[in-house]
Amino acid sequence: RMSEAVICNGMVFLAGQVAEDPSGDIISQTRSVLGSIDRLLARAGTSKKNLLTAQIFLADIGEFALMNSVWDHWIADAGKPARATVQAQLAKPGWKVEIVVTAVLG
């Protein structure tokens, strides 16, 4: 149905990442998603320091500040990508956050 990551022309495109355990709160789910992103980028030969874009989908935009508290800590030592955050109905009711990123190889 889809690939978790596609590499093309020196860029890495990740599919939307969601928490492995959908029973957690927004903080634990965001940590889980960012951990998955770290692992996938490493497998592709890059890291969050090479992010170009991020798209963040929240089931409840009221949790924006909580999600950002985890994001800000995670991205602190890396380049800041262009980013958009929107509220969206996610594919499974327990999911609170889904993140899509694009990075350059490096």
In this prediction, residue 1 carries a pLDDT of 72
pTM, entire model? 0.96
In this prediction, residue 81 carries a pLDDT of 97
88 and 58 Cβ atoms separated by less than 8 Å: yes
pLDDT band at 93 (very low <50, low <70, confident <90, very high): very high
In this prediction, residue 65 carries a pLDDT of 98
105 and 50 Cβ atoms separated by less than 8 Å: yes
CA 68/CA 79 separation, integer angstroms: 16
The pLDDT tens digits of the residues spanning 1-45 come to: 789 999 999 999 999 999 999 999 999 999 999 999 999 999 999
In this prediction, residue 101 carries a pLDDT of 98
66 and 7 Cβ atoms separated by less than 8 Å: no
The pLDDT tens digits of the residues spanning 51-84 come to: 999 999 999 999 999 999 999 999 998 889 999 9
